[in-house]
């Protein structure tokens, strides 16, 4: 499946203004805002949040990388071009544990 096919299966995000990723101390380390060009990533991260009880760890990040589908290879070849994929790769590589906090409008 392609990224767009996965997106079609995810919960709606109309009620969100964004999503924060917080470290174990509660500090925001990454934010995805509900803006054009980021809505796909926001929808994917929100889906991870609902499926994995707001936990971002190696298991949920691996699922996220699967869902990013064809964008994963481009992200691996162009580090920094896809920061939302880069974060998932870091979580898997470094066995990080983060909390996903959807931001309501």
| pLDDT for position 74 | 97
- Put residue 27 in one of left, alpha, beta given phi > 0 → left and psi -120 to 50 → alpha: beta
Look at the alpha carbons of 30, 78, 36, 2 in this order and tell me if their dihedral is positive or negative: negative
| pLDDT for position 60 | 98
- Put residue 89 in one of left, alpha, beta given phi > 0 → left and psi -120 to 50 → alpha: alpha
| pLDDT for position 40 | 98
Q: How many CA atoms lie within 13 A of 41 on its CB side?
A: 22
**pLDDT tens for the chain, residues 1 to 105:** 999 999 999 999 999 999 999 999 999 999 999 999 999 999 999 999 999 999 999 999 999 999 999 999 999 999 999 999 999 999 999 999 999 999 999
């Amino acid at each position: 499946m392609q990224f767009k096919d996965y997106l079609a299966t995810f919960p709606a995000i109309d009620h969100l203004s964004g999503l924060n990723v917080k470290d174990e101390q509660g500090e925001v380390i990454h934010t995805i805002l509900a803006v054009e060009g980021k809505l796909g990533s926001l929808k994917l991260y929100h889906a991870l949040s609902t499926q994995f009880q707001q936990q971002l760890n190696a298991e949920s990040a691996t699922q996220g990388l699967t869902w990013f589908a064809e964008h994963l290879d481009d992200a691996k070849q162009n580090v920094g071009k896809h920061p939302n994929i880069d974060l998932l790769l870091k979580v898997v590589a470094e066995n990080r544990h983060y909390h996903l906090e959807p931001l309501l409008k």
